[in-house]
Structure 1
Amino acid sequence: MITTSDLTKTYDKTVVVDNVSVSLPDAGVTSVIGANGAGKSTLLSMISRILDADAGSVAVDGLDVFNAPSREIAKRLSILRQETHMTARITVREVVEFGRYPHSRGRLTEECVQKVDEAIAYCDLGEFEQRGIHELSGGQRQRAFIAMVLAQDTRYVLLDEPLNNLDMPHATGVMKLLRRLADDHGKSIVLVLHDINYASVYSDRIVAMKDGVITADGAPESVMNADTLERIYDMRFSVIDLDGDKIAAYFR
């Protein structure tokens, strides 16, 4: 389990994350939603130790994130950031191999090769593994990065806006892959999403943030209602039931 206690981050006297205490499960899909500036990505960055906290603590299965060795954290928790840049000449397979660095320090073992092979196959990238990452479409490239964190073989996988710049078919493909990854491998997938309908359909839990605090937290059916969404986004919403899923439409 990932637990935060009174986690706080301030920029230029503006509190971006405000005393957030939350527990994230050790399996399933959790989506963090909210408007721009709500503190979603900052929260994820502090959990993964990309950012220091001004106050509070984070623990992953009892391990203090801010004080533990980086290698130990990287064996438990992986993160795919919103912007991932790779050298143009690097191949898909080499990208996936980066995921084994916490285990191998660059010297791949037989187990590492097996994990890379499994991740490439699982993400259906076999025909692309020797191509340059720059040659892939946006959806294929995102699958390659997901394969990289899968090869890292951590229980917790954090993704910051993994659907950025993807069209609907590719975004749907990525969400199906993440859902399958949680179900097949028993992993905890925590992702920041702007599309609340993807959060509703594919998540076990939705955590909603506004002005640096958590304003709603629960199963999709408890968060996906007009009153709650209007409080989060300051917009009008209508929510319908479509094949058992809660789907929201929003208005000016």
Structure 2
Amino acid sequence: MIVASQVTKTYGDTLVVDDVTLTIPAHGITAIIGPNGAGKSTVLSIAARLLAADKGTVTVDGMDVTKTPSDKLARHLAILRQDNHLSARLTVYDLVTFGRYPYSKGRPTLEDKGHVDRAIEYLGLTELSGRYLDELSGGQRQRAFVAMVLCQDTDYVLLDEPLNNLDMKHARSMMQLLRRATRELGKTVVLVLHDINFAAWYADTVIAMRDGKLVAGGSVDQIITPDVLRQIYDMEIAVHELAGNRICLFYE
């Protein structure tokens, strides 16, 4: 599990994460939701050691992320940031191969190549493996980046707004794929989401934040309720049951 304890982060005079303590269980999908400026992406980046907290600790299966050697941590936790644009012209295969760097150090073995091929196949990118990223659609390119992260073969996969720039069909396909990865590959997926309906439909655990603070955390049934959503978004949101899942509709 991932455990954050009293995590605080400021930028200048702005407090963006305010004494956050939370636990993310192993296995399944955990969605972090909340309005813009809630501190969601900052918490995710601190957990992945992309940002240093001003105060507090984060551990991954007991390993302090600030003290664990980078190559060891990279075999347990992978992250895909929101700004995943590359200036270099790479093929899908080249990009996915980067996911093996913690193991290969830039010199892929046959075992590494096997991981690359499986990740590309798992994301349905086999026919596109030789294509350049700038020749792909937004949905195809996002799948290539997710394939790179899965190729890293870590227990924990952290994704910062992976549905950005995806239409409804491709967003649904992405969430279905991530759910499959938790069930078939035993991954723990933690992702920042703005669409609370995708969180309600696909997540096992939901963490809600607002103004840098933790508002609530728990199961979908516990968090996706009108009362909790009102605390998070400061608006009225109706919650209905559909096919055994919850769907959210805002109203004036």
TM-score (norm 1): 0.98
Deviations 1:92-113 (A, max 9, x none): 0000000000111000011101
2:108 corresponding residue in structure 1: 108
Q: Within 2, Cα distance between the matches of 1:250 and 1:112?
A: 47
Equivalent residue for 1:73? 73
In the other structure, the counterpart of 1:56 is 56
What is the CA–CA distance in structure 1 between the aligned matches of 2:60 and 2:26, rounded to whole Å? 9
Structure 2 runs not aligned, ≥5 long:
none
2:145 corresponds to: 145
Partner of 1:206: 206
User: Unpaired runs of 5+ in structure 1?
Assistant: none
- d(CA) in 2 for partners of 1:132 and 1:228? 44
| AA in 2 matched with 1:92 | V
Secondary structure of the residue aligned to 2:6 is strand
Q: The residue matched to 2:215 in structure 1 has which SS? A: strand
CA distance in 2, matches of 1:165, 1:122: 21
Please give the alpha-carbon distance, in whole angstroms, between the structure 2 residues aligned to 1:113 and 1:165: 30
- 2:5 matched residue in structure 1: 5
For the pair 1:161 / 2:190, whether they are aligned, the reply is: no
Question: Alpha-carbon deviation of 1:88?
Answer: 5.1
User: Partners of 1:233 and 1:12 in 2: how far apart?
Assistant: 26
> Structure 1 residue 63: deviation in Å?
1.2
**Secondary structure of the equivalent of 2:179?**
helix
Match of 2:178 in 1: 178
Q: d(CA) in 2 for partners of 1:85 and 1:69? A: 26
Equivalent residue, structure 1, for 2:127: 127
SS in 2 for 1:246: strand
Displacement of 1:199 = 0.3
Counterpart Cα distance in 2 of 1:163 and 1:26: 22
Letter of the structure 2 residue corresponding to residue 48 of structure 1: A
Aligned length: 252
Query: Which amino acid in 1 is paired with 2:9?
Result: K
Shift of 1:2: 1.0
Deviation at 1:85, TM superposition (A): 1.4
Q: CA deviation at 1:178?
A: 0.6
The Cα offsets for residues 163-220 of structure 1, whole Å up to 9 and x where unpaired, read as: 0111101111111111111111111000000000000100001000011111111111
Residue 18 in structure 1 maps to residue 42 in structure 2: no
Residue identity opposite 1:170 in structure 2 = H
Tell me the TM-score normalised to structure 2 length. Answer: 0.98
Identity %: 54
CA distance in 2, matches of 1:191, 1:239: 22
Runs of 4+ with deviation above 6 angstroms: none
Report the CA distance between 1:231 and its aligned residue. Answer: 0.8
What amino acid maps onto 1:38 in structure 2?
Answer: A
Find the residue that maps to 1:209 and give its secondary structure: strand
Partners of 1:88 and 1:133 within 8 A in 2: no
The Cα RMSD (Å) is: 0.9
- Does the CA-based 8 Å contact 1:88-1:134 persist in structure 2? no
Q: CA deviation at 1:251?
A: 2.7
**Higher deviation after alignment, 126-135 or 61-70:** 61-70
Is contact 1:88–1:132 with CA below 8 Å preserved after alignment? Answer: no
The amino acid across from 1:135 in the alignment is E
Amino acid at match of 2:238: S
Aligned to 1:189: 189
